[in-house]
């Protein structure tokens, strides 16, 4: 049976610094992401069952400081800006030429590199990222004709070879735009590659499914001691189109409210067009995530505002219907990995609200 187009999202949410390796100063991490998909937007299955066409590539900002935090120490968490860490698309089945009832599953993924700024120039970092984007596009387009009904996946060995070649290409691009003196200092103390990874999911992996992204990058000394340790957290998800036209929103992350420690409570006032979520944080405070009638969003620490005692760790807020004139409310939501996410109804509509 033919597959249906699948709304898909990849989101890199947080970078945790467990142990930096930057001498006596703070770390200055930056993140390169190159999102890609191989699907029916640009590819078909030819008469010989091999894929034909080109991939879709989405690039972002590869500059130094693109995470907005250049003072990161052990125990710090950096929130990844959505413009760098999030990719939303519709994954379309790859049609088979002359047979509309047969198709090939599309693939979506991200090439990510976590780096730490040292002596590479800003121009060098930007040139390195541009080279990575171009390399990923060319390599995926080279691989596409090797895929067919009998070989639907790129092997781990092919990914490993691609990774090594990508790093070499980036180094060459950085050297080509730097002066001899800059290249000397880059050689002495070049930007560190903390971690490099290719993540990918097929259409069938993602249908109404949720995948955690939890990548750990460690450097280990010859004596076995961990000298550098970072973690990238996020998720990928596919959801069948919602009959309610819901869309996804990262409510607590968007307004900078703390992580949730229990299930949230939600209320909706359709007549006023307002939404409200209340949840308990890890310190026992109740927080309100609100959206008003004109679409503005914000957060309020209800416990602090009222001077109230903290909530018990086993309790979750329960709504009482007594709306004030500026009542704000929200559709059904879910707390996942410490972030309150509106998921709407029914549950099968996954990341939409």
Give the C-alpha separation, 328 to 272, whole Å.
8
Which residue has better confidence, 272 or 201? 201
Q: Which pLDDT score, from 0 to 100, does residue 296 have?
A: 83
**Average pLDDT, whole number, for the chain?**
79
Q: Are 298 and 255 in contact (CB under 8 A)?
A: yes
* Contact partners, residue 8, CB within 8 Å, separation at least 6: 88, 89, 90, 91, 108, 206, 236, 237, 238, 239
How far, in Å, are 41, 319, 323, 353 from residue 331 at the CA level?
A: 33, 13, 16, 7
Mean pLDDT of 276-294: 88
How far, in Å, are 11, 109, 171, 202, 263 from residue 237 at the CA level?
A: 9, 11, 33, 11, 21
Q: Which pLDDT score, from 0 to 100, does residue 206 have?
A: 92
pTM: 0.72
Which tokens belong to 239?
């959801």
Strands of 249-250's sheet in order across: 249-250, 339-342, 333-336
Window from 18-27, 60-69, 180-189, 225-234 with minimum mean pLDDT: 180-189
Q: Are 49 and 150 in contact (CB under 8 A)?
A: yes
Taking only the tens place, the pLDDT of each residue in 138-183 is: 888 988 898 877 777 777 777 777 777 777 777 676 556 544 444 4
Window from 17-21, 225-229, 269-273 with minimum mean pLDDT: 269-273
Q: Which pLDDT score, from 0 to 100, does residue 180 have?
A: 43
Taking only the tens place, the pLDDT of each residue in 26-52 is: 889 999 999 999 999 999 988 888 899
Q: Which residue has the tokens 């992996």?
A: 205
* Contact partners, residue 346, CB within 8 Å, separation at least 6: none
**Angle of helix 180-189 versus helix 156-177 axis, rounded to 10:** 140
- Residue count of the chain, please give it: 353
DSSP 246-277: ---EEHHHHHTPPPB-S--EEEEETTTTEEEE
Taking only the tens place, the pLDDT of each residue in 78-128 is: 989 889 999 999 999 999 877 777 888 999 999 999 988 877 788 888 888
């Amino acid at each position: 049976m033919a597959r249906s187009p699948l709304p898909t999202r990849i989101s890199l949410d947080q970078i945790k610094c467990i142990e930096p390796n930057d001498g006596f100063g703070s770390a200055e991490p930056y993140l390169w992401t190159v999102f890609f998909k191989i699907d029916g937007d640009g590819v078909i299955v030819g008469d010989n069952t091999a894929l034909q066409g080109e991939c879709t590539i989405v690039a972002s900002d590869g500059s130094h400081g693109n995470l907005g935090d250049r003072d990161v120490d052990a125990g710090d968490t950096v929130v990844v800006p959505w413009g760098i860490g999030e990719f939303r698309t519709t994954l379309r089945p790859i049609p088979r030429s002359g047979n509309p009832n047969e198709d090939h599953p599309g693939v979506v993924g991200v090439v990510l590199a976590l780096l730490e700024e040292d002596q590479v120039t800003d121009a060098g970092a930007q040139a390195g990222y541009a080279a990575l984007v171009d390399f990923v596009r060319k390599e995926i387009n080279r691989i596409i004709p090797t895929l067919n009904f009998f070989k639907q996946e790129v092997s781990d060995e092919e990914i490993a070879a691609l990774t090594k070649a990508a790093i070499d290409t980036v180094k060459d691009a950085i050297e080509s735009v730097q002066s001899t003196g800059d290249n000397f200092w880059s050689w002495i103390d070049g930007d560190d590659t903390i971690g490099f990874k290719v993540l990918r999911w097929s259409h069938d992996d993602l249908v109404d499914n949720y995948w955690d992204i939890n990548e750990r990058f460690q450097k280990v000394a010859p004596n076995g001691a961990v000298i550098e340790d970072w973690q990238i957290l996020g998720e990928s998800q596919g959801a069948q189109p919602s009959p309610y036209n819901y869309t996804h929103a990262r409510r607590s992350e968007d307004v900078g409210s703390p992580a949730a420690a229990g299930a949230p409570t939600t209320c909706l006032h359709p007549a006023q067009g307002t939404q409200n979520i209340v949840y308990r944080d890890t310190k026992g405070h109740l927080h309100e995530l609100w959206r008003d009638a004109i679409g503005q969003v914000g957060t309020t620490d209800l416990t602090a505002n009222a001077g109230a005692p903290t909530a018990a760790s086993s309790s979750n807020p329960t709504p009482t219907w007594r709306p004030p004139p500026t009542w704000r409310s929200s559709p059904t939501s879910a707390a996942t990995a410490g972030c309150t996410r509106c998921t709407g109804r029914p549950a099968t509509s996954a990341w939409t609200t």
